[in-house]
C-alpha cells in the first residue's frame, strides 16, 4: 500500500534534461549536470518508466529486469555464491572480430548499443551479424525503421546468401516490434535504429529524448525478461556521442563504436563500455563491395607497403587491447608561409603533437618554429597509446632532416618532457609482432632491455629522443629538385 503512494508521488515529480537525461524533481532553466540552458522536459505521464506497461506482453506490472525463470526469487536476496553460472554461456556470433570485441561472444539477455557516424556501415555490420547467427540455424529478428524491405533485401544480396531463419520487420512502433518479438521468439533481436522507434502513447516524435529513453527501457526489459540479446543501432551526434539521452549509455551492457574514415575502407569496432569484457579490444574490418570483411592480420593492413625507407615515415606498434598493431605514421615538415605555422594531425592528438615538437626543439635542437608540421596515421586509425610517441617524434625529425629511418625499424617509447624515454606496456608482444612481419630492428627504452631478450630483432636500447635521433636515422637523401629545373635540364 505504501509503495503505491510513493510511486504516485514520484510519478508527479519529474523533469529531465533533454541533453543529458539528468532527472530533477522540479523544472529548471539550467541543467545542474551538463550546464545546458532550456533543456528541461517534463517526464512522460506515468512518471517512472516502469509504471506503464509498454511491453505488449513482454512486461508485466512494475518494471523489473530479472531473467525469466527467476520469478520465484524476486525480491528475496540470494547468496551471491549460490547464483548459478551454468547458463551464462556466451553465444559465438560467427564473426570473430565481433566476438573478440564483446569479450568472447554474446551474453544472453544483454542489451548492446552500436554507434557510429552515418554511412560508416552500422546497418551493414548488423545485417552481416544477423546473417552469420542465422546461418547457424538460429532465428533472428532484424527490425528496421530506416529502410524498406526491398532496400534491405538489396543490401543482403551483396552480402551473400540469406538464411531462411533471418526474419525482417520494417516497423517504427515499439509495441508492434515487441509483439513481433514475443511471437517470433528470436535468438537475437536487432533494432536499426533506436532513434526511429517510438511509443504511440508518449508525446514527441521518434528520436526525442523521451522516446529514445522509454523505447530503450522497454527493450531492456524484453532482453532481460526473455534472455534474448538485443542490438540497438544508435546515431551519433556531431561531437561523437550516441544521440539521445546519456542514460541510454548507462542502460545498456555494452557500447560499441564503429569508426573509421568514411572514404577509406578500414573500419574499427571498439567497445567504449563493456560489462562482460575488456573495453580495449578492437575489431578491424575492411569495407568491400560485398560488405565488411574481417581483417585477420591488421598490422599488415596498416603498413602501407611495408618497410620502405623514406623521410617522414616511421612504424610504431600500438597496443589495442591485448593485441599489438603495427601502424605507419607519416610526417611532413615544410617551411611555413604564415606567421603562425600550421600543425595538422589526423589520427593523433594535436596537443600531444605540440609537446613532441617542443621536445624536438629543446632536447634535440631541431628548429621547427617556422615550419608547418603535418602528421597522419595510416588506415584511418587513431593512436592513443603513449608508447607511440617516439615513432611520431622520429617521423617528424626524419622529414625535417630528410633522413629516412633505417630500413625495417620499429620505434617505441613514451617521450617525457625532458626528452627521456619511458617504458611502454607489453614491449615483448609488440616486438614479437614486428619480428613476425619481417622487421629487422627495434629502438625502445633502455630500461626495458631485459623484456626484449629473444625477440628476434636487432635491439637498440635508447635513453632519450636525442639518442634515438642519432641511432635510428639513416643518411640524408637529396630532396626532389623543383620541377622547373628538371624540365630545363631535359630541354638542354
Residue ranges in 93-122 that form contacts with Mg ion under rule CB under 5 A: none
Please say which residue, 224 or 235, places its beta carbon nearer to ligand TYD: 235
Please say which residue, 156 or 315, places its beta carbon nearer to ligand TYD: 156
Residues 61, 77, 118, 164: which binds ligand TYD (CB under 6 A)? 118
Please say which residue, 55 or 283, places its beta carbon nearer to ligand TYD: 283
Q: Which stretch binds ligand TYD (CB under 6 A): 16-24, 119-127, 239-247, 343-351?
A: 119-127
Residue 237 makes contact with ligand TYD by CB under 6 A = no
Residues 119, 438, 479, 480: which binds ligand TYD (CB under 6 A)? 119
Residue 270 makes contact with ligand TYD by CB under 6 A = no
What cell numbers appear for 3 in the block?
Answer: 509503495
Residue 123 makes contact with Mg ion by CB under 5 A = yes
Cβ(140)–Cβ(188) under 8 Å? yes
Residue 121, binding choice from Mg ion, ligand TYD, none, Cβ under 5 to 8 Å by partner class? ligand TYD
Cβ(444)–Cβ(427) under 8 Å? yes
Q: Is the peptide bond before 193 cis (omega within 30 degrees of 0)?
A: yes
Residue 121 makes contact with ligand TYD by CB under 6 A = yes
What cell numbers appear for 417 in the block?
Answer: 618532457
Tell how far CA 479 is from the center of its chain: 39
Q: Which stretch binds ligand TYD (CB under 6 A): 32-40, 174-182, 289-297, 385-393?
A: 289-297
Residue 123 makes contact with ligand TYD by CB under 6 A = yes
Residues 290, 304, 334, 487: which binds ligand TYD (CB under 6 A)? 290
Cβ(462)–Cβ(445) under 8 Å? yes
Residues 52, 100, 122, 323: which binds ligand TYD (CB under 6 A)? 122
The binding track of 183-222 with respect to ligand TYD, each residue x by CB under 6 A or -, is: ----------------------------------------
**Nearest residue to Mg ion, scored by beta-carbon proximity:** 123
Residue 158 makes contact with ligand TYD by CB under 6 A = yes
CA distance 342 to 149: 49
For the purposes of burial, counting CB atoms within 10 Å of the CB of 156, is it exposed (0-12), middle (13-18) or buried (19 or more)?
Answer: buried
Rule CB under 5 A: which residues touch Mg ion? 123
Rule CB under 6 A: which residues touch ligand TYD? 116, 118-124, 155, 158, 287, 289-291
Amino acid at each position: 500500500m505504501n509503495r503505491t503512494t510513493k510511486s504516485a508521488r514520484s510519478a508527479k515529480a519529474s523533469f529531465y534534461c533533454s541533453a543529458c537525461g539528468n532527472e530533477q524533481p522540479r523544472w529548471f532553466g539550467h541543467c545542474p549536470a551538463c550546464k545546458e540552458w532550456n533543456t528541461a522536459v517534463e517526464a512522460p505521464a506515468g512518471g517512472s518508466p516502469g509504471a506503464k506497461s509498454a511491453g505488449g506482453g513482454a512486461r508485466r506490472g512494475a518494471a523489473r529486469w530479472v531473467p525469466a525463470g527467476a520469478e520465484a526469487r524476486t525480491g528475496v536476496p540470494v547468496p551471491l555464491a549460490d547464483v548459478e553460472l551454468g547458463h551464462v554461456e556466451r553465444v559465438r556470433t560467427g564473426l570473430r572480430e565481433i566476438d573478440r570485441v564483446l569479450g568472447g561472444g554474446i551474453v544472453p539477455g544483454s542489451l548492446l548499443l552500436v554507434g557510429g557516424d552515418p554511412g560508416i556501415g552500422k546497418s551493414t555490420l548488423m545485417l552481416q551479424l544477423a546473417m552469420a547467427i542465422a546461418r547457424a540455424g538460429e532465428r533472428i529478428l532484424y527490425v528496421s525503421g530506416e529502410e524498406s524491405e526491398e532496400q534491405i533485401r538489396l543490401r543482403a544480396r551483396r552480402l551473400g546468401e540469406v538464411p531462411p531463419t533471418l526474419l525482417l520487420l520494417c516497423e517504427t512502433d515499439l509495441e508492434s516490434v515487441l509483439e513481433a518479438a514475443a511471437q517470433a521468439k528470436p535468438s537475437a533481436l536487432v533494432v536499426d535504429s533506436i532513434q526511429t522507434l517510438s511509443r504511440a502513447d508518449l508525446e514527441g516524435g521518434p528520436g526525442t529524448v523521451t522516446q529514445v529513453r522509454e523505447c530503450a527501457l522497454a527493450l531492456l526489459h524484453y532482453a532481460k525478461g526473455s534472455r534474448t540479446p538485443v542490438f540497438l543501432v544508435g546515431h551519433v551526434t556531431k561531437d561523437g556521442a550516441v544521440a539521445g539521452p546519456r542514460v541510454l549509455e548507462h542502460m545498456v551492457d555494452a557500447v560499441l563504436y564503429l569508426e573509421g574514415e568514411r572514404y577509406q575502407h578500414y573500419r574499427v569496432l571498439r567497445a567504449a563500455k563493456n560489462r562482460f569484457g575488456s573495453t580495449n579490444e578492437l575489431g578491424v574490418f575492411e569495407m568491400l563491395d560485398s560488405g565488411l570483411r574481417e581483417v585477420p592480420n591488421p598490422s599488415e593492413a596498416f603498413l602501407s607497403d611495408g618497410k620502405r625507407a623514406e623521410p617522414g615515415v616511421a612504424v610504431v606498434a600500438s597496443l589495442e587491447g591485448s593485441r599489438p598493431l603495427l601502424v605507419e605514421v607519416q610526417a611532413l615538415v615544410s617551411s611555413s608561409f604564415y606567421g603562425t605555422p600550421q600543425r595538422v594531425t589526423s589520427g593523433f592528438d594535436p596537443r600531444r603533437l605540440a609537446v613532441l615538437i617542443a621536445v624536438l626543439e629543446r632536447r634535440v635542437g631541431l628548429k621547427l618554429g617556422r615550419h608547418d608540421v603535418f602528421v597522419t596515421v595510416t588506415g584511418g586509425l587513431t593512436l592513443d597509446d603513449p608508447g607511440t610517441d617516439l615513432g611520431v617524434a622520429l617521423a617528424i625529425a626524419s622529414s625535417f632532416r630528410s633522413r629516412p629511418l633505417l630500413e625495417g625499424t620499429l620505434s617505441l617509447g613514451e617521450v617525457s618532457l625532458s626528452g627521456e624515454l619511458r617504458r611502454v606496456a607489453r614491449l615483448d608482444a609488440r616486438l614479437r609482432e614486428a619480428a613476425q612481419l619481417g622487421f629487422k630492428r627495434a629502438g625502445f627504452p633502455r630500461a626495458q632491455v631485459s623484456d626484449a631478450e629473444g625477440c628476434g630483432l636487432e635491439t637498440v636500447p635508447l635513453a632519450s629522443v636525442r639518442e634515438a635521433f642519432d641511432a635510428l636515422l639513416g643518411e640524408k637523401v637529396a630532396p626532389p629538385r623543383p620541377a622547373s629545373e628538371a624540365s630545363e635540364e631535359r630541354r638542354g
